[in-house]
């Protein structure tokens, strides 16, 4: 009978500390990733003659991106349709690459799949 209370009083503080540190590190990595992506988008928007702050406003940033690539504004709605948004994202990435004189491969691989690298490379100062 004395074994049951001992099992209920186990100390998991080491695991809790490790989980908190791991979660904190992932949050920091994600915030750095997000900051680098915002800086790249800001540069792309300004290079295209649009206000840089527009890249941080949800939904409006997609509308401005449609203006940059020459697509109609209603294409923003297509981003809310599952699976269609994937195809539209690729089309917009290719159009954005071509708008800045880059190849379609640059648009697909660097702007769509590796955005953090592509948007930094697409807008040199």
- Model pTM above 0.85: no
Mean pLDDT of all residues in 73-91: 92
8-19 pLDDT per residue, tens: 656 666 677 878
For the chain, what is the total number of helices (H) and then of strands (E)? 7, 0
Question: 33: domain range?
Answer: 10-122
Number of domains within the chain: 1
* pLDDT surpassing 80 at residue 52: yes
- Cβ–Cβ < 8 Å for 83, 3: no
Containing 124, the helix (H) or strand (E) segment is none
Task: Specify if 66 maps to a domain.
Answer: yes
Band of residue 30 on the pLDDT scale cut at 50, 70, 90:
very high
Maximum Cα interatomic distance, the chain, rounded to a whole number of Å:
77
Average pLDDT in the chain:
83
Task: Specify if 2 maps to a domain.
Answer: no
* pLDDT surpassing 70 at residue 122: no
Task: Specify if 3 maps to a domain.
Answer: no
């Amino acid at each position: 009978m004395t074994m049951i209370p001992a099992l209920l009083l186990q100390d998991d503080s080491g695991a809790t500390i490790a989980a908190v540190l791991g979660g904190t590190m992932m949050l920091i990595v994600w915030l750095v990733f997000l900051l680098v992506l915002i800086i790249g988008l800001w540069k792309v928007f300004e290079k295209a003659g649009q206000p840089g702050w527009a890249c941080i406003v949800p939904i409006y940033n997609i509308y401005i991106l449609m203006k940059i690539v020459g697509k109609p504004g209603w294409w923003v709605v297509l981003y809310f349709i599952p699976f269609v948004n994937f195809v539209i994202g690729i089309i917009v990435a290719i159009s954005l690459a071509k708008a800045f004189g880059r190849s379609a491969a640059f648009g697909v691989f660097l702007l769509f799949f590796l955005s953090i690298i592509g948007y930094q490379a697409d807008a040199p100062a």
